[in-house]
């Protein structure tokens, strides 16, 4: 199942890490994850989300603000009943752990390029195989997964097609144009429109959209800490200027949560 990120040979895991037939060795961290991100595949010293972003997301999600989103995600995943699945861009593991609970008989894998995120994520579900790895060079074998989860995360479509077994699919969860519209209105002088379905034009040959739905609700954030965490866990927190960010944190806020779910199958 696991392959070497350097030579693509089969990796044999053990308690200390994993080794391929060519002799490439990768260590297992004391927290339990495998680091399969060679230094030559990094674009910075510590790629991905930093500790502050990871902790902000953890606090916000564990407060239950996105619990309806996680519930619908697990329902959709359980309907597909995969035998092997991968969360591509797992972050700090909030959704990943709930997928694991909904798919107890399946073989689960999760990866993120952020070491800080995976260090925290792997505490949530020890039965999963947790990896620090690149989403552009996923260290799993061809056609090895029946379900890929891509949740608020960038996606390499060619890698997705490579990883999926025939009949398997990608379960994608992403924002619509209405998502956090009120927050964006406070942060920017001009709120840019975007196409909810733009990603569908990126689906490669051999894959097709089989199901799509949207979940929406209103969320009121009375605590300043929750508003600060929401800013810290989204790109809006660093795109907007300091004055606008301070104004958001200063006053209670009600926002629209609007998320699209797509099931995109490999033919």
Q: What is the CATH number of the domain that holds 44?
A: 3.40.50.150
The answer to whether residue 86 is domain-embedded is: yes
Per the annotation, does 90 bind a ligand? no
End-to-end CA distance of the chain: 21
Per the annotation, does 66 bind a ligand? yes
The answer to whether residue 157 is domain-embedded is: yes
The confidence score (pLDDT) of residue 159 equals 96
The confidence score (pLDDT) of residue 43 equals 54
Per the annotation, does 93 bind a ligand? yes
Q: For each of the chain's 267 residues, which pLDDT tens digit applies?
A: 899 999 999 999 888 999 999 999 999 999 999 999 987 545 545 555 778 888 999 999 999 999 999 999 999 999 999 999 999 999 999 999 999 999 999 999 999 999 999 999 999 999 999 999 999 999 999 999 999 999 998 899 999 999 999 999 999 999 999 999 999 999 998 888 888 889 999 999 999 999 999 999 999 999 999 999 999 988 877 788 889 999 999 999 999 999 999 999 999
> Could you give the CA distance from residue 173 to residue 88 in angstroms, rounded to a whole number?
12
- Pull the structure tokens for residue 18: 């994993």
Per the annotation, does 20 bind a ligand? yes
The answer to whether residue 2 is domain-embedded is: no
* Structural domains of the chain, count: 1
- Give the pairing type, strands 107-112 and 129-132: parallel
The answer to whether residue 150 is domain-embedded is: yes
The answer to whether residue 256 is domain-embedded is: yes
The confidence score (pLDDT) of residue 40 equals 53
The confidence score (pLDDT) of residue 203 equals 96
The confidence score (pLDDT) of residue 86 equals 98
The confidence score (pLDDT) of residue 167 equals 96
The confidence score (pLDDT) of residue 190 equals 85
> 97: domain range?
27-266
Neighbours of 227 (CB within 10 A): 21
Partner residues linked to 151 by β-bridges? 173
Per the annotation, does 179 bind a ligand? yes
The answer to whether residue 140 is domain-embedded is: yes
The confidence score (pLDDT) of residue 192 equals 83
Per the annotation, does 92 bind a ligand? yes
Q: 9 by DSSP, 3-state: which?
A: coil
Quote the radius of gyration of the chain (alpha carbons, Å): 19
The answer to whether residue 20 is domain-embedded is: no
The answer to whether residue 11 is domain-embedded is: no
The confidence score (pLDDT) of residue 193 equals 83
């Amino acid at each position: 199942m696991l392959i070497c990120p350097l030579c693509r040979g089969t990796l044999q895991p053990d308690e200390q890490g994993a080794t391929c037939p060519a002799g490439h060795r990768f260590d297992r961290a004391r927290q339990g994850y495998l680091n399969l991100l060679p230094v030559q595949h990094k674009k910075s010293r510590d790629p991905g989300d930093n500790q502050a972003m990871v902790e902000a997301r953890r606090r916000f999600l564990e407060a239950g603000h996105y619990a309806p989103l996680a519930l619908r995600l697990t329902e959709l995943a359980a309907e597909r009943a995969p035998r092997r699945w991968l969360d591509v861009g797992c972050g700090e593991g909030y959704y990943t752990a709930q997928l694991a609970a909904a798919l107890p008989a399946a073989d689960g894998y999760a990866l993120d390029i952020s070491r800080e995120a995976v260090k925290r994520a792997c505490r949530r579900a020890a039965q999963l195989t947790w990896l620090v790895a690149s989403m552009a060079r996923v260290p799993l074998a061809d056609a090895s997964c029946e379900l890929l989860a891509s949740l608020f995360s960038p996606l390499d479509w060619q890698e997705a097609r490579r990883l999926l077994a025939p009949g398997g699919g990608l379960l994608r969860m992403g924002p619509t144009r209405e998502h956090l519209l009120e927050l964006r209105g406070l942060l920017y002088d001009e709120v840019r429109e975007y196409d909810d379905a733009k990603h569908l034009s990126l689906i490669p040959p051999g894959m097709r959209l089989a199901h799509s739905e949207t979940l929406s609700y209103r969320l009121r954030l009375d605590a300043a800490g929750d508003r600060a965490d929401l800013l810290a866990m989204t790109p809006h927190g660093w795109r907007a200027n300091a004055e606008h960010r301070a104004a958001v944190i200063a006053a209670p806020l009600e926002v629209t949560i609007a998320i699209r779910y797509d099931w995109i199958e490999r033919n």
